[in-house]
A and B are shown apart, each in its own frame.
Chain A
Amino acid sequence: MSGATRSDTASVVMLTQTGSPPTPQGSRSLWAEGLKRYRQNTMAVASTYFVLFVAFVAVFAPWIAPYSFDEQHMDRILQSPSWQHWLGTDALGRDMLSRLIYGARMSMAVGVITAVISLLIGTAYGSISGWVGGRVDSVMMRIVDILYSVPTLVLLILVKVIFDSVNLFTHPELRALTGILLALSVVGWVTLARVVRGQVMQVKEMAYVEAARALGSHSLSILWRHVFPNILGPIIVLLTFQIPLNILYESFLSFIGLGLQPPFSSWGVMADDGWRSLRSFPHLMIAPGVAIFLTILAFNLLGDGLRDAFDPQLRGRS
């Protein structure tokens, strides 16, 4: 009996999904409807606020943080949380809260910048591959397959080794960051390219694309005016999943000592600093760990919410 009710509700959901006819006003109301669905998802909305909060902290770090990220207080080493230092101090007497706040700046910057760059590369590569098709497509996808055959972290390390020896910049802070940024961007586009290619190939067969072609539109203008608007939803969803992934990989790289170098602060660098003194001072490792955990959780929930709201085809899939 309960099974019957379940499938009934399922079919009702299906009806409301496919049954609502596309409104003549076009895409605007589709987005509005998606936004309405998104607002009803409490977890996703809460996550959005959390992500905005972290972004705010990241942007205004110098004004929010009580101390600088590398300011050492040699008389207050490895202190427990107190009113003076809310999260205590580390082995060099640096304020943990300040380092966490500056860490948010680095981690978020790396995550967002690399996700956007990978998105641009991935979209361009995927659309060319999917649009042109044929031999070009198979060669381009073979290249993607080869990149896919190297574990991500291995590829990241390799790319970083190569870029680090090239010495693009002499400024230490820029140099520390460019290696990671380039590595994550070079590595991250591969998945995106695959998905975009699939989407483009699907949309390519649609009647409206054929109509545009019949009217003599140029390929680029069809891509820009008809294909991209229709695959924008999945691309945005992918972007929200790529950001936390890149934040995680940055922290992995920094944790194993091949990413950002101290005294710069990112959550991975802090975790690396903390685990050496785990037995006596566990808060050093727990604090950045919790920060990464909450941020990634929020991004994932946000992405899930966006996908459920704007991409009903994928609803319920993980």
Chain B
Amino acid sequence: MAVVVLSFFALPIPVFLLWLVGILGGLSFIHYTFSQNLFVYVMKRLAEALFVIWVIASLTFFLLRVIPGGPFDTEKALPPEVIANIAAKYNLDAPLHHQYADYMLGLLKGDLGESYKFLGRNVSQIVAESLPVSLQLGTYSLLLAFLIGIPAGLFAASRHNTWADNAAMIFAIVGLALPSFLIAPILIIIFAFKLNWFEVALWLGPEYYVLPVIVLGTGPAAIIARLTRSSVLEVIRSDYIRTAKAKGLSHQVILYKHVLKNSLIPVLTFSGPLVAGVLSGAFVVEQIFAIPGMGRHMVQSVTNRDYPLILGTTLVFSIMLVLANLLVDILYAYFDPRIKLS
């Protein structure tokens, strides 16, 4: 059992992502050769995404500069020379618009500024270390959610109003309400303390990944199951499925070739909010399992009032969400030719 679960994580993430990017790139190119619609659409959406990220970066920058107090407020009053030195080091003595211009220029070069708390460390370095961890956690959890949620929803819908349907839906409703700090201790007690199968802290290998991924993936799996089920039920009632039945196609062919394909579109549309949910949920999961991801760094940076780190992590989180939404919209445009690209 444990081995089967662990082998799920043997999928090296960079390879997986590369494949995804490769396939998407290929698809775009093929589509582009047939019609220029998608290319223009993607470019337009990319420009919009850049605008959104610029607004978020600027707003956060100014808000964090405007609020009173800071990491260098100490109980004892510092000598003015020290304060001046600190301000000079972090470019805080320049006029605000100069600071802003410097920060934006740095962003273009991928420089997120220097951390107030971790001396001599650049925020970009910290992000570079913690982002892959968070990406792994998030991707595995989403993958798990889709792998459980879609079959469960399909299964429930194909046995509509039977005990199996009810059981699957009760499972989904329960999964939706389970907070990570209830499911995590239960799993930890059973699988780590009693059975000793998996590790409960840090992020060093497959046996460390299992529990956090299950905890983070349960809620999304429940949402996907419910969504798939209701979507399948709706499609089953549509006219073209009646036609397919009238043609005498087998139940299996109808279910997999006609129903599943069409009913996954709402599931796909919902993937954007799903990614947002996983990004939020990761904060708690990273805290419980002491995973050195972006969420933990952001929480620590708030406690330390390490403003450059708060700013940097906010920005990277937002970029991740914006990109995920963009990807979902592009995939949506692919799989549903009925929608018009606007």
Contact = CB atoms under 8 A, between A and B. Distances in A.
Interface of A: 3, 6-7, 10, 145-146, 148-154, 157-158, 161-162, 165-166, 244, 248-249, 251-252, 255-258, 271, 274-275, 278-279, 282, 285-286, 288-290, 292-293, 296-297, 300-301, 316-318
B327 interface: no
A318 B302 contact: no
A157 B173 contact: no
Contact of B298 (A154, A286, A289): A154
Nearest to A163: B67
Contact of A146 (B52, B182, B186, B280): B52
Contacts of A161: 64, 67, 302, 310
A6 B302 contact: no
B288 interface: yes
A195 to B, nearest CB: 13
Interface in B266-296: 276-277, 279-280, 283-284, 287-288, 295
B177 A300 contact: yes
Contacts of B69: 165
B280 A151 contact: yes
Contact of B179 (A165, A274, A296): A296
Contact of A300 (B68, B173, B298, B322): B173
B182 A290 contact: yes
B164 interface: no
Interface stretch (B34-42, B99-107, B226-234): B226-234
Given A161-B67, A318-B226, A293 B179 contact: yes
B245 A3 contact: yes
A151 B302 contact: no
B181 A271 contact: yes
B266 to A, nearest CB: 9
B299 A162 contact: no
Helix, strand, loop or mixed for chain B's interface? helix
Nearest to A161: B302
A168 B193 CA distance: 46
B314 A158 contact: yes
A146 B189 CA distance: 41
Contacts of B226: 318
B263 interface: no
Contact of B177 (A158, A162, A293, A317): A293
A300 B176 contact: yes
Interface string B52-72: 110110001001100111000
Nearest to B170: A43
A41 B299 CA distance: 42
Contacts of A145: 52
